[in-house]
Structure 1
Amino acid sequence: MNASTLARHSRRALDFSLPAVMVGTYLFVIAGSPAGAWLARPALLAYLAVQWPRLPRIARILLIISACLALGVLGFHDDGVALSLRALDSACFLATFVTSLSMLRVAAQHSRLVREAGAALIQQKPTWRYPILSLGTALFGIIINVGVLGLFGAMAQRSNTLKAAHGHVEIQQARERRMMMAILRGFALAPVVSPLGVTMAVVLASMPYLRWADLAPAAIPVGMLFFLVGWLLDYLQRPRQLAVLMPTDKPSASLAPLGRFTLLAGLVTASVFLIGALFDLRLPVAVLVACPLSAWAWLAMQRRRLGGGIGFGRASGTLVRHSRLIFGANRNEVAMLGGSAFAGVVITALIDQQALAQWLLASGLHGVLAAVVAMFLVLLLAQFGINPLVSVTLAASLFPDTRVIGLEPVVLACALMSAWTLAVISSPFTASLTILSDMIKRSPYEVAWRWNGVFFVLMLPLVTLWLYGLQYWLTR
């Protein structure tokens, strides 16, 4: 076997290193097998090495920082080996989490129901377009994550022709802005409402003493506020002067496909909670099991229509054929999540948390004010390209118990989740804004700061008031 052939076979073997990470993580996290950890750790390092040339600069910088931290603790920390392994285990877990979710995207890409429900969302009357499109995007985002932006953005553009706008460019531009804002803000709801989202996994992994049941009553009202303020602004900022140019409007499309998709999304979410309850698993761990099984069952239902059988064999074949796409497409998320998790574990261990708590108390930066400052810092760093993955992971990992600085843990978690949501619509560097701005050929700065500026300025004080009220309610 010559060198080129050996290199090709080695490369193909390394392409499937991420499945090895998943298998090892399952064995370690669910079965408690130390051998699983030793399978996952080198497999993740191999995957990142193979994908390194394709990673964006920010991901490479984060991984380099993580590598420097690892070398530092190995050389100067008394328990450096154990700390590095624990940090690597955290990175493996989040890499498995995001890959498990991505399998649902494969099923969604092959689903006629997704296309029909998406088309129905776009074809609504202007009065109801924002609420239906925003909530629909949030719902689809639970299943296909950032893929919903490309799906709905493309549909919105196809439906927003000059003919549909009665030949008026102004109407076309107004529709584009209103639909894209509904899509973006709907997608931004995921960090505070989705039990299957990456945000929830990061917060729960960094604050393991919390559960989703603790966070939901605090975070979901922020999502409701986010939705209602967005809807109100859409109504108040509507171009009234253009209404006279549109004497008639098409009837709204039937929402029956959306109803069927809502049922499907509900079943996927319910399966996560069911598996968690049956096997006594924390929510992020239950996602690792439920999402791949749900994707497989969904594909089997689709493939059954092709004639005979129950479709499980065809579903398995589809997942195998798309495996390289699934695992390669996750490189950015795996690198960012893995690097953030690794750095968070190491930095937290190196900080003298008692001394930090005393300093915060002495400086007056304690209680709910600490949560508000953390929220503002996450938002500020996001404006300079620091992904919330990094800042939220570090902030959530600082204290084993935030009560030492007079702050309820749920309040800090809610502040960080809210900051993530606001960063999605305000930072020109987020993937969501990059995708939509490229699609509509506009500057991400215009979309983030001009189109969303008023909304952002309104939401900041409202969320801050909610955090103060939440702290008061939990400590009274």
Structure 2
Amino acid sequence: MANCGTVLAIALLTPQVRWSRQIFVVLALALAAYAWIADPGEAAAVLGHALERASFILAFFCALATLRHTAEISEAITRAAVFLAQQPPGRRYSALALGGQTFALVLNYGSISLLGSMARSSAAREPDAEVRAIRTRRMLQAVHRGFAASLMWSPLSFAIVISTSVVPGASWGAILVPSLGSAALLTGIGWALDKAYKSKLAPGRVPVRDRSHDDHARVLLPVLWLLLLIAVPVMVLHVTTGQSASLSVLSVVPVVAGLWLLIGVPVGARTRHLGGHVGAFVFRELPAFRGEIVLLSMAGFLGSGAGALLAPMVAASGLDLSAVPVWVLLLLPVWLIPLGGQVGMNPILFVSLFGPLLPAPEVLGISPTPMVLALTAGWALAGVTSPFTASVMLIARLGDVTPADVSLRWNGLFSVICAVVLSVWVLLWV
């Protein structure tokens, strides 16, 4: 039933999206045709598994969108974002980078739109054009890199969901601590570069901080409560039932979003209030994400299907990847995923395709941890360097620059340093 719904949704949405998204659908149809021609006996199983991956991605995206819908209309969430954007220069980067990770749990890409917009509005009050440009860039870099760091540990990120699904034996609980280490390294490197390379201004041009909008840190409490409402049930389900964190998220997030909508609403008006938001979400908000829905679900289908078709070909060719040094196999995703992003290869497609080709961790004599760390590290770096990703394009629009400026000029050195450091970090877990 879910697979039929996915096929119907893609069929309805494809004519409404840009040609760059339609290409993915054409490639998916070509892959399906090739599978039936090459091996009719295995085609049903291969395409069925690929369609299941696409259905899961679609369902996961919709579940996260319910939370985003709730958070974006919450005055408390907006106030917390304003608080982070108005921190003094000495702690602004760390506040926005850490806040970006926290908000990404709730809003996904919406965290960039919300925090980035608040950061831009805060910087816009600066009358000096040079100071305004410097402040805008540094604040947007912090938000962007914070979002990228969240990809390496958040159970609500596609990076964690897809990476743990393609690596046999991997689970979110098992890789949480080292994944937080990856995020800490990326955040720390960004903070250090911000401190080392911040532009120096003449004493007379250093802006005086506007304290008229100061608020207390307690405005962050609603965000923390929302995270606890998600994290605790997800963890309980993950530990007690043994089901994956991603399936737990599917069960918990829509419920939490619905309950959050009802806070402060009179008892007699709750049904009407919730019904109105459900209607707005289904008929207005979700269709607005049609491009993302088509791209993400088809990337999952292509990666899963192509990976399943290529695996026996690789084995038949005599190429034994288990004979390749383990350190080489582990470092390949860290460097290749960002490089693939330069030519428009979506990380979902890359990981779904590359993951099944890798030997199982037990064959290599390692745990699943370093393999997942490598995949998520490459995914996070692609998120700040690929001019084709939504995160880079959002930052470019907010910063009035091109995606190439964001990926190379703003994040080039940062990404190279992070790739080197994260490569070492991955190998430490072998």
Bin for the TM-score computed over the shorter chain: over 0.9
Per-residue CA deviation, residues 249-293 of structure 1 (Å, 9 max, x unaligned), is: 234532211133122212212222223345442111111110110
Q: What does 1:227-376 align with in structure 2 at a 5 Å threshold?
A: 227-246=187-206, 248-251=208-211, 252-302=214-264, 304=265, 307-309=266-268, 311-350=270-309, 351-352=311-312, 354=315, 358-361=319-322, 365-376=324-335
1:174 Cα deviation from its structure 2 partner? 1.1
Using a 3 Å threshold, how does the CA distance of structure 1 residues 80 and 274 change in structure 2: closer, same or farther? Answer: same
Within 2, Cα distance between the matches of 1:356 and 1:368? Answer: 23
Within 2, Cα distance between the matches of 1:272 and 1:179? Answer: 32
Segment drifting more, 317-326 vs 292-301 = 317-326
Within 2, Cα distance between the matches of 1:226 and 1:462? Answer: 9
What is the identity, as a one-letter code, of the residue corresponding to 1:271?
A: P
Within 2, Cα distance between the matches of 1:468 and 1:88? Answer: 34
Per-residue CA deviation, residues 27-73 of structure 1 (Å, 9 max, x unaligned), is: xxxxxxxxxxxx22222111111111233434322222222221222
Within 1, Cα distance between the matches of 2:148 and 2:412? Answer: 15
Question: Which residue is equivalent to 2:29?
Answer: 67
- Confirm or deny that 1:458 pairs with 2:400: no
What is the identity, as a one-letter code, of the residue corresponding to 1:207?
A: V
- 5+ residue gaps, structure 1: 1-38, 472-476
Question: Which residue is equivalent to 2:160?
Answer: 200
Within 2, Cα distance between the matches of 1:355 and 1:321? Answer: 52
Question: Which residue is equivalent to 1:177?
Answer: 137
Segment drifting more, 424-433 vs 315-324 = 315-324
Within 2, Cα distance between the matches of 1:135 and 1:312? Answer: 36
1:243 Cα deviation from its structure 2 partner? 4.7
What is the identity, as a one-letter code, of the residue corresponding to 1:398?
A: L
Question: Which residue is equivalent to 2:87?
Answer: 124
Within 2, Cα distance between the matches of 1:261 and 1:138? Answer: 12
Q: What does 1:136-151 align with in structure 2 at a 5 Å threshold?
A: 136-151=99-114
Equivalent in 399, 404, 418 of residue 445 of structure 1? 404
Question: Which residue is equivalent to 1:415?
Answer: 374
Using a 3 Å threshold, how does the CA distance of structure 1 residues 202 and 435 change in structure 2: closer, same or farther? Answer: same
Question: Which residue is equivalent to 1:47?
Answer: 9
Using a 3 Å threshold, how does the CA distance of structure 1 residues 272 and 310 change in structure 2: closer, same or farther? Answer: farther
Within 2, Cα distance between the matches of 1:55 and 1:96? Answer: 19
What is the identity, as a one-letter code, of the residue corresponding to 2:301?
A: F
Within 1, Cα distance between the matches of 2:318 and 2:419? Answer: 26
1:408 Cα deviation from its structure 2 partner? 4.0
1:367 Cα deviation from its structure 2 partner? 0.3
What is the identity, as a one-letter code, of the residue corresponding to 2:233?
A: S
Q: Is the 8 A contact 1:131 1:182 kept in 2?
A: yes
Larger Rg: 1
Q: Is the 8 A contact 1:196 1:269 kept in 2?
A: no
- 5+ residue gaps, structure 2: none
Alignment length, in residue pairs?
A: 425
Within 2, Cα distance between the matches of 1:278 and 1:346? Answer: 32
Using a 3 Å threshold, how does the CA distance of structure 1 residues 295 and 247 change in structure 2: closer, same or farther? Answer: closer
1:359 Cα deviation from its structure 2 partner? 3.1
Q: What does 1:152-167 align with in structure 2 at a 5 Å threshold?
A: 152-161=115-124, 164-165=125-126, 167=127
Q: Is the 8 A contact 1:366 1:407 kept in 2?
A: no
Q: What does 1:59-138 align with in structure 2 at a 5 Å threshold?
A: 59-77=21-39, 78-138=41-101
Aligned-CA RMSD value: 2.1
Per-residue CA deviation, residues 307-348 of structure 1 (Å, 9 max, x unaligned), is: 454835522331123212233133233323322322233233
What is the identity, as a one-letter code, of the residue corresponding to 1:253?
A: D
Question: Which residue is equivalent to 1:25?
Answer: none
What is the identity, as a one-letter code, of the residue corresponding to 2:383?
A: V
Within 2, Cα distance between the matches of 1:357 and 1:283? Answer: 36
Report SS of the residue matched to 2:344.
coil
Within 2, Cα distance between the matches of 1:344 and 1:239? Answer: 43
Within 2, Cα distance between the matches of 1:142 and 1:189? Answer: 11
Segment drifting more, 116-125 vs 45-54 = 45-54
Q: Is the 8 A contact 1:336 1:389 kept in 2?
A: no
Within 2, Cα distance between the matches of 1:242 and 1:45? Answer: 60
Q: Is the 8 A contact 1:156 1:179 kept in 2?
A: yes
Equivalent in 363, 375, 379 of residue 404 of structure 1? 363
Within 1, Cα distance between the matches of 2:19 and 2:330? Answer: 30
1:424 Cα deviation from its structure 2 partner? 1.1
Question: Which residue is equivalent to 1:57?
Answer: 19
Within 2, Cα distance between the matches of 1:342 and 1:411? Answer: 25
Within 2, Cα distance between the matches of 1:102 and 1:247? Answer: 39
Q: Is the 8 A contact 2:13 2:294 kept in 1?
A: no
Q: Is the 8 A contact 1:204 1:284 kept in 2?
A: no
Query: Percent identity at matched positions?
Result: 26
Given the two structures, how large is their TM-score scaled by the length of structure 1? 0.84
What is the identity, as a one-letter code, of the residue corresponding to 1:376?
A: W
1:154 Cα deviation from its structure 2 partner? 1.7
Q: Is the 8 A contact 2:307 2:354 kept in 1?
A: no
